[in-house]
Amino acid sequence: MSHRIYNMSFAGVFQALIDKAERKGKTRQDVLDLTSWLTGYDLESIEQQLQSDLTYGDFFRQAPNYTTYRTNITGKICGVQIETIEDPLMQEIRRLDRLVDWLAKGKSVADIIGKYQV
């Protein structure tokens, strides 16, 4: 199944995540740091991807090294339990959504990463 978000611009969707974090007093760098931790992209690579015409789906498909701790990221996003999502690509996308939600709720990057690295 192909979800519409897979074909959306990576830069556009990522900017929406940044905007959400910034509305809650967090920074663009916070979102970059969480994304890097989750996907294995270094910060320079993420910046390069933001300047390209890469789709959001391809950003996740091409992730160089997902953290092994990502399966610890659970909970509901858009009313759906992350761990019950059958499509692996959508599951990765929702994990990043969950991390940014924690950020928007006032948690620090270190606290968020520490929570899942157990």
pTM score: 0.93
pLDDT on residue 49: 96
Residue 113 has pLDDT above 90, yes or no: yes
Q: Dig out the tokens for 110 from the structure.
A: 């270190």
| pLDDT tens profile 48-61 | 999 999 999 999 99
Average of pLDDT values for 67-78? Answer: 92
Residue 1 has pLDDT above 70, yes or no: no
Average of pLDDT values for 3-18? Answer: 96
The domains of the chain, with CATH numbers, are 4-116 (1.10.8.290)
